[in-house]
Amino acid sequence: MDVTIIGGGIAGLALAHELAPDHDVTVLESSPGPRGGGYMIDFFGPGFYAAERMGILEELRSRGHEFEGVRYGTPDGVDSGRIDVGPLVQAAGGRYFSILRPEVELGLLAVLPASVDLRYGAQVVAVRDAGLEGAARARRAVVELADGTILDSDLVVACDGVRSPVREQVSPGHGAIVPMGYRVASYLYEDPELAAELGERMLMTDTVRRVGWAYAADDTRVGVMLAERVEGAAGTKRPEPDRERLQRDFTGLHPQVDRALAHAPESFYDDLVAQAIAPRWSRGRIALAGDAAHAPSLLAGQGTSVAIAGAEALARSLRATGPHVEAGLAEYERRWRPTVEKVQRSGRRSASFFTPSSPAQLRLQQIGRRTLGLPGVSRLVTRTFIAA
Ligand SMILES: Cc1cc2nc3c(=O)[nH]c(=O)nc-3n(C[C@H](O)[C@H](O)[C@H](O)COP(=O)(O)OP(=O)(O)OC[C@H]3O[C@@H](n4cnc5c(N)ncnc54)[C@H](O)[C@@H]3O)c2cc1C
């Protein structure tokens, strides 16, 4: 059959990789090329196992990074604690590494079968289920591009991210994102001197309501992530990135973060931290995958992992049911939904302590960190985290 995938991000490319041996696959990506920029992600959990089965794990691992852990720092630049990543890696049986989000995309592109018709600069503006069409009365779905091109296929899968407009079509009333009470910005920039200073540990600020991370992405680049609590007032609209606001609101968390803020680029990732909840992932010949179906938010730390694993689950279900596409889509939900819901729940549980809401909560977290240093507690916590 012919399959059109909307979005050439993590889920879209992983799905194309898996469907290409059996189907004619077209991927429509609105950006003009692979999306650069981005943040360091922790890669573990279901996506790790899926990547192993897909034969792409070594490609991803070769692009990954192994940090020693996290160093905490106060606004006056004093180190206030550290956590080693070793026990986490051990609890995951070695199935854990860090990787820049754009490197996951480039890794998937490197292994993408040549038969996939990947079109950059292709912005989808409408999708519809065409119902039963033609002499064969076959079910079809249609996408329309901004340039007027119409593509007609047996199946359309929307892998167009957490703000996918297709979710509302498939699951009416569930198109909006579900905000988790935080806004996050992130960027990468060239700063070999600070990269050398940061070394093999991520810096996380020991601060209230606003938290900054800085890390050496490689020998020359520094990655920055800045998160703040925005309970209530934020709505669901994507905020406009504003460098001056970022510098004004986050300066003073730590001298190294201040330095990185002074180099903030004009354009950067900036959005509300949110989940996507959809009681249905398909309707007729239109389906959802990745963040479009089930974004767990960065609080769960597994969005990329479940985007890859969900794409693989969808391809596996379609393979198992052959020409019975609707049965394959139902099987995908039955098989995959319980895992995703568990990951989403773990994201919601993290929401209350992602950044401390008060000096008292900060103090509690500092005490918690000290007990984390005890081997038994550390093993217990890391096992719980990995199993989430
Ligand atoms: C700051 C931050 C930190 C994170 N940390 C982690 C972590 O530690 N671990 C982890 O596993 N995950 C993490 N995540 C989550 C992870 O990045 C996402 O869950 C994952 O990228 C989802 O992939 P996706 O392909 O579903 O969506 P996306 O990566 O958003 O891709 C969607 C694609 O669709 C394209 N598109 C959108 N609309 C259209 C259209 N109309 N036509 C054509 N193309 C379109 C977009 O351009 C994009 O390329 C983090 C996220 C953030 C923001």
Residue having the nearest C-alpha atom to atom 51 of ligand 1: 298
Mean pLDDT to the nearest integer, 374-381 = 49
What CATH number does the domain containing 166 carry? 3.50.50.60
pLDDT above 80 (res 384):
no
User: In which domain, by residue range, is 266 found?
Assistant: 179-272+354-369
| C-alpha–C-alpha distance, residues 273 and 178, integer Å | 9
| CB of 31 closer than 6 angstroms to any ligand 1 atom | yes
CB 124 near ligand 1, within 6 Å: yes
**Are 223 and 335 within one domain?**
no
| Coil, helix or strand at residue 346 | helix
The verdict on 114 and 27 lying in the same domain is yes
Residue among 15, 29, 354 to mutate when testing ligand 1 (max atoms within 8 A of CB): 29
pLDDT at 133: 58
Confidence of residue 362 (pLDDT cuts 50, 70, 90): confident
Q: Residues 119, 167: one domain?
A: yes
**One-letter amino acid of 66:** E
Question: Average pLDDT, stretch 349-377?
Answer: 77
Looking at the structure, do residues 173 and 280 belong to the same domain, yes or no?
A: yes
The response to whether residue 26 sits with its C-beta less than 6 Å from ligand 1 reads no
Determine, yes or no, domain membership for 358. yes
**pLDDT greater than 60 at residue 140:** yes
Residue 111 in any domain: the answer is yes
Position 199 pLDDT exceeds 90: yes
In a domain, 374, yes or no: no
User: 186 has which bridge partners?
Assistant: 225, 269
Among 67, 160, 305, 339, the mutation site with the greatest number of ligand 1 atoms within 8 A of its Cβ is 160
Q: What is the CATH number of the domain that holds 256?
A: 3.30.9.30
Nearest Cα neighbor of 256 from 76, 37, 65 is: 76
- Give the tens place of pLDDT for each residue, 258-305: 999 999 999 999 999 999 999 999 999 999 999 999 999 999 989 999
Evaluate whether residue 73 is within a structural domain.
no
Residue 220 has pLDDT above 50, yes or no: yes
**How many other CB atoms sit within 10 Å of the CB of residue 360?**
10
Parallel, antiparallel or unpaired: strands 210-216 and 201-205: antiparallel
Q: Report whether pLDDT(200) > 70.
A: yes
Question: If you take atom 21 of ligand 1, which residue's CA is the nearest one?
Answer: 304
Any ligand 1 atom below 6 A from CB of 51: no
Residue 312 pLDDT > 80: yes
The reported pLDDT for the residue numbered 276 is: 97
Structure confidence by residue, pLDDT tens digits, 33-78: 998 778 999 999 999 999 999 999 999 999 999 899 999 999 999 9
115 with 29, same domain: the answer is: yes
Q: Whose CA is nearest to atom 52 of ligand 1?
A: 298
pLDDT of 222 reads: 97
Query: What mean pLDDT do residues 131-150 have?
Result: 79
In this predicted structure, what is the pLDDT of residue 355? 86
pLDDT band, residue 233 (cuts 50/70/90): low
pLDDT category at 193 given cuts 50, 70, 90 is very high
Residue 375: the pLDDT is 47
| Residue 38 near residue 98 (C-beta atoms within 8 A) | no
Q: Is the domain of 233 the same as that of 127?
A: no
Nearest to 46 by CA among 224, 262, 378, 306: 306
Q: What is the pLDDT of residue 343?
A: 95
Same domain? 27 vs 122: yes
Whole-number pLDDT of residue 356: 86
pLDDT, residue 270, reads: 95
Q: How confident is the model at residue 7 (pLDDT cuts 50, 70, 90)?
A: very high
Residue 203 lies in a domain: yes
Any domain includes 173 = yes
Which pLDDT score is estimated for 388? 45
Distance 102 CA to ligand 1 centre (A): 10
Confidence band of 87 (pLDDT split at 50, 70, 90):
confident
Atom of ligand 1 nearest to the CA of 289: 26
List the alpha helices (DSSP H) in the chain.
10-19, 46-54, 57-62, 86-91, 101-110, 166-170, 192-198, 243-250, 255-262, 291-294, 303-321, 325-350, 359-372, 375-387
209, 320: one domain: no
- Residue 328 — pLDDT band, cuts 50, 70, 90? very high
pTM: predicted TM-score of the whole model, two decimal places: 0.93
328/282 same-domain check: yes
Confidence of residue 89 (pLDDT cuts 50, 70, 90): confident
Does 377 fall in a domain? no
β pairing state of 155-158 and 178-190: unpaired
Rounded-to-integer distance, Cα 388 and Cα 319, Å:
28
Mean pLDDT (the chain) is: 91
Domain count, the chain: 2
Q: Looking at the structure, do residues 169 and 192 belong to the same domain, yes or no? A: no
Kindly indicate the confidence band of residue 350, based on its pLDDT and cuts at 50, 70 and 90: confident
Ligand 1 centroid distance, CA of 376 (Å) = 35
In this prediction, what percent of the chain has a pLDDT beyond 70? 93
Could you tell me if the CB of 347 is within 6 A of ligand 1? no
248 shares its domain with 358: yes
| Statement to judge: residues 17 and 120 lie in one domain | yes
Instruction: State the Cα–Cα distance between residues 326 and 320, nearest whole angstrom.
Output: 12
130 or 200, which is more confident? 200
CB-count burial class (<10 Å; 0-12, 13-18, 19+) for 147: exposed
19, part of any domain = yes
